[in-house]
Amino acid sequence: MSNSPLVDYTRISPNSTNPRKHKIGKITIHHMAGNLSVESCGNVFAPASRQASANYGVGTDGRIGLYVDEENRAWTSSNADNDNQSVTIEIANDQSGGDWHVGDVALASLIDLCTDICIRNDIPALVYTGDATGSLTRHNMFAATACPGPYLQSKFPYIAEEVNRRLGVQAKAGDAETASAASASAASASAASASGASASAASASGASASAASASGTAASGTAAVAQTTPANVIYRVRKAKDNVLSQIGAFTILPNAIAEADRNKAEGYKVFDNDGNLAYDPATAEGDAKTAALSQNEEDRTEVIVMQYPALTLITGTAIASVQQMRVYLEKINPEAPDLAEIYLEEGLAEGIRGDIAFAQSCLETGNFTFKGDVKPEQNNFAGIGAVGGGAPGNSFPTPQIGVRVQIQHLKAYVNKEPLLGECVDPRFQYVERGVSPYVEWLGQRENPLGKGWATGGDYGPKILRILNAILATEADEDAAISKTAETEQAAEAAEAAEAAEAAKATEAAKATEAAKATEAAKATEAAKATEAAEAAVGEVFAQDELAEAEPEERSPEEITVDNAVAGGVIVDRDYWLGVLIGTIRPDPADIKNLMDQAHTKAQEKKKEKKKVIEIHIQAPEGYEVVVK
């Protein structure tokens, strides 16, 4: 199995399963959530503690990086089954936040790479169905995540269409006959791929295609979406497309979803399809549109009930906020605050902790660095380490950098059980029960299902998230960042000049005492001769066995399917499945029980409506899902 000849840079990550357990038949596209070069992306995947990787990365400049050989499975999509079948690709954003825009050059290079992957791996056509059944998949099909971002997700139909055009096929969703007929065309193109001409004559059209992409031609985008709309769309009833916590139902039959939205119209519920497109709004729906939707064939109606555990925010990972966003956010609130943004991102990256989350926590702990509590600015303690109340000031640290490093290490103690990558400077590291708070939402003891965490006060994690979201929403001027750097350099030059003047004064003083030192040295020599018999130094050598580095356990999703678990619209073995769920999914058992109770109630309601429940999905963070059939 070969890798792409289009690769410009290679840095192989240790985070992979070798070899993959399935023939390549899919491509999964992610976004980097930042403007990373292929080298920077390689640095992110390099530590074994990261436990994440991708086969390829595409930078904003269009250069392509290789991080995991195609013969091996990268750890990318929170789903082992998908990643064993897929070549996974990370692509850089040229805009942070918002719709997470991807530049035309990067998009054109991505299409070249996808075409090459299809040719070399005999993938006859790249089929985008909008769900996990297609050969072009997205990260958010398998985990509660914003990846690949609104802009890139909107381009998936176009990406598939352009790749298939280069392969010489016109694939529609689920069109197996067309895909099969295309395999001969893909095979004949493999020779061109080997010579590096993966895009063939179509590569010249990459720029024009990108231009069309940039212009966002509505007609083309609409046609592509309509062409690839699958028959098994799940219609979700929510207040907003991204508001997972508000979801009250999910349906394969649009009229049923409409009825649910109508019943909850007063609370602002709407219907959204797989891609987050608005399918029905009871507040504005026109009569004809509603009538057309309700006119679907009502014979043999079946239902899929989806109960989704609320998405949680991992503290591990790479920061999303930029240095300048963090600076601008804090300067608006407290212009006198120290400039620690860059230090937070550097120290966070060193230990695999999101520096922007730690920065938001420090804003909460210090009152945006006003230090109106027990801890004072000169302590360089930005997270209340050791400040237990009652006037106790807590620990002090010699420099701001050490203070930030202590906070990062203390967070890591709560987040996981991985060893520190740097020397431990946290005086309270050993007192933390490791790994009890992997999510921001669980940092507060009241919200943590284990009753443990960083703080005793209520709403601690959500407060940090509100600050973080405000930082991410901050518009940052990169020119201002450059100006700030220039000011820092000027200050450093002035400090160097002052040090030189002090050094000159010290030289004169040194000459005045040189003779006295010579006399003292002579006396010291005589004393040394009198005690020439030195004691033998005994050193104790400690040997430490080298720790064997074991491959991290695959974080593949558990999928348990049992026939006849649902009969007549009611969950027959509810207690059994409740036990399976608690043993499978990490979050609070009380929340899992609540989800199961809701699913059971919905199943009973469907029975009353004489509808047959065919599946119940219980979804949780990190891609875990239990399917009851």
Which residue ranges form the domains of the chain, and what is each CATH number? 9-227 (3.40.80.10), 235-299 (no CATH), 323-472 (1.10.530.10), 566-628 (no CATH)
Q: Does residue 559 or residue 359 have the better pLDDT?
A: 359
- Residue 354, pLDDT score: 95
The answer to which of 177-191, 241-255, 491-505, 515-529 has the lowest mean pLDDT is 177-191
pLDDT digits (tens, 9 = 90+) for 400-457: 999 999 999 999 999 999 999 999 999 999 999 999 898 898 899 888 878 889 998 8
Q: Does residue 45 or residue 594 have the better pLDDT?
A: 45
- Residue 109, pLDDT score: 93
Could you say which DSSP state residue 303 is in? Answer: E
Is the pLDDT assigned to residue 102 strictly greater than 60?
A: yes
Which range among 36-40, 252-256, 544-548, 605-609 has the greatest average pLDDT?
36-40
Mean pLDDT, rounded, for 170-196: 38
Band the pLDDT of 329: cuts 50, 70, 90. very high
d(CA 397, CA 379): 6
Is the pLDDT assigned to residue 530 strictly greater than 50?
A: no
The percent of residues in the chain predicted with pLDDT above 90, rounded, is 34
d(CA 111, CA 399): 48
The answer to which of 64-68, 266-270, 297-301, 468-472 has the lowest mean pLDDT is 297-301
The percent of residues in the chain predicted with pLDDT above 70, rounded, is 62
d(CA 119, CA 112): 11
- Residue 198, pLDDT score: 32
Q: Does residue 149 or residue 201 have the better pLDDT?
A: 149
- Residue 189, pLDDT score: 35
pLDDT digits (tens, 9 = 90+) for 276-304: 888 888 887 654 455 555 544 443 445 55
d(CA 276, CA 279): 9
Mean pLDDT of the chain: 74
Band the pLDDT of 107: cuts 50, 70, 90. very high
- Residue 262, pLDDT score: 85
- Residue 619, pLDDT score: 61
- Residue 98, pLDDT score: 79
pLDDT digits (tens, 9 = 90+) for 118-153: 999 989 889 998 888 899 999 988 887 788 989 999
Q: Are 104 and 58 in contact (CB under 8 A)?
A: no
Give me the DSSP letters along 26-84.
EEEEEE-SS---HHHHHHHH-SGGG----SEEE-TTS-EEE-S-TTSEES-SS-HHHHH
Mean pLDDT, rounded, for 245-252: 67
- Residue 467, pLDDT score: 95
d(CA 573, CA 576): 5
3-state secondary structure 390-454: CCECCCCCCCHHHHHHHHHHHHHHHHCCCCCCCCCCCCCHHHCCCCCCCEHHHCECCCCCCCCCC
The answer to which of 89-103, 169-183, 376-390, 481-495 has the lowest mean pLDDT is 169-183
Q: Are 393 and 373 in contact (CB under 8 A)?
A: no
- Residue 615, pLDDT score: 63
- Residue 444, pLDDT score: 92
- Residue 140, pLDDT score: 87
- Residue 362, pLDDT score: 96
Band the pLDDT of 255: cuts 50, 70, 90. confident
Tracing tokens 């109106």 back to the chain, one arrives at 372
Amino acid sitting at position 450 = L
- Residue 368, pLDDT score: 95
Tracing tokens 């750890």 back to the chain, one arrives at 75
Tracing tokens 């995947």 back to the chain, one arrives at 45
